[in-house]
Amino acid sequence: MTNIVITGASGRMGRALIEATLEIDGAVLSGATVRPSSTLVGADAGELVSQGHRGAPIHSDLNLFGTLHPVVIDFTTIEATLEHLQWCLENAVPCVIGTTGFSEAQEAVIAEAAKAIPVVYAPNFSVGVNVVFDLLDRASRVFGDSVDIEVLEAHHRHKLDAPSGTALAMGRVVANALDRDLSQVAVFGREGQTGARPREQIGFATVRAGDVVGEHTVLFAAEGERVEITHKASSRRTFANGAVRAAIWASEQSPGLYSMRDVLGL
């Protein structure tokens, strides 16, 4: 059994992770954390998701879980995630990171930590999305330079980063398959007299509205036809289930930087 601690328990994703950990075989919810100012400090994580007392305390300090040697699952904010990762490094425990929007320098910090502990870092923990990554690689290689490629994504109004980490990951899959440098060919939104579209561009369009959990489409458009590969999430549980699966997997791994594709064996 894998002891798991969830950070950011009061958030929408935190609650989904708590529910998933309580319900998935092989996982044990050891506890959760919130900000020191939260009224949830001292509560039970099971009660937070209406599953009754489960002996999983909510604290504001990860140090209170150190003796359990848990796997930490973190879907919080960039700054908080890096702090939690440092704690995992100091306590030699695995970390599963679902936070997105890191800079290259911050990703380098994650990679450095992974030299000492197992770290699963992925833009999306949905099994379906990771299958889509494989489909995108295949489609890109088949179409080659014969199509225009656009990445369209939509999320709820509270999401902090844009484009989403998943959209950027999809763009990287496409760019790598076509031997393009995404940093050179990506276009994030268009406005005004932009001129004709160069074929090598990979465009990104972002929607933030309402309670959309997550929708991603990659459009391959040629003269006379187009192909769309789409993934739509209707519940955060799909991400939470994948993250808990990754945590159980990470508990048995040696130090290294892993993705959800590694967890799934893709």
Report, as residue numbers or ranges, the catalytic residues.
155, 159
How far is Cα 152 from Cα 218, in angstroms, rounded to an integer? Answer: 6
How, if at all, do strands 148-155 and 202-208 pair?
parallel
DSSP state of 90: H
Residues 6+ apart with CB under 8 A from 211: 156, 157
How far apart are alpha carbons 156 and 239 in whole angstroms?
15
HSE (CB half, 13 Å, CA atoms) of 147?
21
For residues 167 and 185, what is the distance between their CA atoms, to the nearest angstrom? 15
* Helices and strands, counts by H and E, the chain: 9, 12
Strands (E), 7-51: 27-33
CB atoms under 10 Å from CB of 101, counted, come to: 17
Tokens for 83, please give them: 């702090």
How would you class 97 by CB atoms within 10 Å of its CB: exposed for 0-12, middle for 13-18, buried for 19 or more?
buried
Side chain identity, residue 49? V
